[in-house]
Amino acid sequence: MEIPDITKLTSPEQTFDLIMCSNVLEHISDDGAVLSEVILVLSPGGTCVLVVQLWRAGDSYHDFSITSPEYMKGLFGQPNHIRLYGLEAVTRRIRNAGFGVETINVRDFDTCDVARYGMNHLTSWELFLCTS
């Protein structure tokens, strides 16, 4: 089975009311292409829930010349992550793609819900509710 390329979706425009994209953008060099494709296939008024691990509040960091899995793991936290996102930078990228966006940090959930939904490991993660 071939894995689809999220930067080149084949679904017709305005097909989906809801898209869940969790822990994807950190792995894709052209994250702008992902956002452009997602907004194309999202129906008017639809929602895309993006889950992104945050590095810090401000800017994102990437260096595409780094290719060593060991070095990437030490720098980005996983051997297949290629960037660290800053909250303001990723929010700006989402808005620039044409989305309305609301952010929710896992720390904002009730601790009972965090345990119930298995989100204990997501303390540095942000959920972006992106609307077309």
Domain ranges of the chain: 16-131
Q: What is the pTM of this model?
A: 0.84
Q: Which of 101, 82, 76, 77 is nearest to 90 (CA)?
A: 101
Taking only the tens place, the pLDDT of each residue in 85-131 is 999 999 999 999 999 999 988 778 788 877 777 766 655 778 899 99
pLDDT reported for residue 7? 92
pLDDT reported for residue 122? 57
Q: Which of 94, 100, 106, 102 is nearest to 128 (CA)?
A: 102
pLDDT reported for residue 120? 64
What confidence category does residue 52 fall into, taking pLDDT thresholds of 50, 70 and 90? confident
Element holding 50 (H helix, E strand) = strand 42-56
Q: Give the separation between CA 104 and CA 11, rounded to whole angstroms.
A: 28
Tell me the CATH number for domain 16-131.
Answer: 3.40.50.150
Write the burial class of residue 129 (CB in 10 Å: 0-12 exposed, 13-18 middle, 19+ buried): middle
Taking only the tens place, the pLDDT of each residue in 6-20 is 999 999 999 999 999
Q: What is the sign of the dihedral through the CA atoms of 82, 84, 89 and 94? A: positive
